[in-house]
């Protein structure tokens, strides 16, 4: 799963630096973005699953939290103009991401702040610090989804 995440991230980086003039490329950008989020969802699930166990695997929590914190930095490149619903490609990204760019940037920033704290808490290995920070991070996922992602 770790290798999968790295692969998706690498593919995303290549796609996003290569395709500024979107057009046909929009579908690729969207697909890469969705893969990035899928990996992020899987990493977040790994953490939650571990925390439900009697003896959580700190190593798994740590690597997943690190992946999420890294995504929090790369996500800023995932939304080039033209990669929204107007592209005609299948995407759950709402047009508001671009029409309310300041609001969306604030949602990205809120997520980044909490994801970084999650990475730090996981690095410390202290479950008492990790648990509440998973909740705080999850709130910023939902906060963005509620406003900027089409409900599926
Ligand atoms: C700043 C906004 C934002 C934040 C923060 C955010 N997401 Fe998302 N997420 C989106 C958008 C927009 C999409 C739809 C992407 C598309 O379809 O093009 C999405 C899609 C997804 C998907 C579906 C991917 C697929 O298969 O198509 C998952 C899973 C997901 N996000 C999980 C998460 C998790 C977990 C977090 C927090 C750890 C998170 N997201 C934080 C905006 C956000």
All structural domains of the chain with their residue ranges: 2-148
pLDDT interval class at 18 (50, 70, 90)? very low
CA distance 151 to 43: 21
Measure the CA–CA gap between 14 and 32, rounded to whole angstroms: 10
**CATH H-level superfamily of 2-148:** Cytochrome c/b562 (1.20.120.10)
Whole-number pLDDT of residue 22: 74
Res 90: pLDDT: 95
Q: Distance between CA atoms of 112 and 132, rounded to whole angstroms?
A: 16
Q: Which residue, judged by its Cα, is nearest atom 36 of ligand 1?
A: 141
Residues 6+ away with beta carbon under 8 Å from 74? 9, 12, 13, 36
Quickly state the pLDDT bin for 152 (edges 50, 70, 90): confident
pLDDT confidence bin for 16, thresholds 50/70/90: low
Q: Where are the alpha helices (DSSP H) in the chain?
A: 2-18, 26-52, 58-74, 96-99, 101-124, 127-148
Query: How confident is the model over 70-117, as pLDDT tens digits?
Result: 999 999 999 999 999 999 999 999 999 999 999 999 999 999 999 999
What is the pLDDT averaged over residues 10-25?
58
Chain segment 126-151, per-residue pLDDT in tens: 999 999 999 999 999 999 999 999 99
23 vs 7, higher pLDDT: 23
Q: What is the pLDDT of residue 19?
A: 43
**What residue ranges line ligand 1, CB within 6 angstroms?**
30, 33-34, 37-38, 40-41, 44, 68, 91-93, 107-108, 111, 137, 140-141, 144-145, 148-149
Mean pLDDT of all residues belonging to the chain: 90
């Amino acid at each position: 799963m770790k290798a999968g995440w790295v692969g998706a991230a690498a593919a995303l980086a290549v796609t996003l630096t290569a395709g500024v003039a979107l057009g046909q490329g929009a579908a690729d950008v969207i697909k890469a973005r969705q893969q990035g989020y899928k990996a992020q969802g899987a990493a977040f699930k790994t953490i939650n699953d571990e925390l439900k166990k009697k003896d959580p695997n700190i190593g798994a929590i740590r690597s997943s939290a690190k992946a999420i914190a890294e995504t929090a930095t790369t996500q800023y490149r995932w939304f080039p103009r033209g990669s929204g619903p107007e592209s005609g490609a299948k995407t759950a990204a709402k047009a508001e991401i671009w029409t309310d760019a300041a609001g969306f940037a604030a949602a990205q920033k809120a997520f980044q702040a909490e994801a970084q704290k999650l990475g730090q808490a996981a690095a410390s290995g202290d479950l008492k610090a990790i648990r509440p920070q998973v909740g705080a991070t999850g709130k910023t996922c939902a906060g963005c989804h509620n406003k900027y992602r089409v409900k599926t």
